[in-house]
Amino acid sequence: MTRRTKKIGTAGRFGARYGVRVRKQIASIEAQRRKKHMCPRCLKRSVKREGTSIWRCRHCGLTFASGAYVPNLGRVRYED
């Protein structure tokens, strides 16, 4: 069961613990992590997270290593 709230989204699972600021940061990072990101090769918004630092484009099939929670497209390492 995942508890999400209107105010702090997915961080709702922590209840009233840890403070608002930290819970807001967690909610923001988790939203970014699941979102579709832009592919560095075909430039489509179809890159999803496979695992820590591993991102794959559903459109062209490109798999690359980048940021752990958000793909850091500034320095992407290709593997064709």
SS3 at position 8: coil
Tokens 């979102």 belong to residue: 35
> What's the closest the beta carbon of residue 55 comes to Zn ion, in angstroms?
10
* Residue from the set 20, 22, 38, 60 that interacts with Zn ion by CB under 5 A: 60
For Zn ion, the binding residue among 12, 13, 14, 42 (CB under 5 A) is: 42
Size of the site for Zn ion (CB under 5 A): 7
Q: Please calculate the CA angle 22-38-70 and round it to the nearest 5 degrees.
A: 25
User: Cα(41)–Cα(3) distance, rounded to whole angstroms?
Assistant: 36
Interaction site with Zn ion (CB under 5 A): 39, 41-42, 57, 59-60, 62
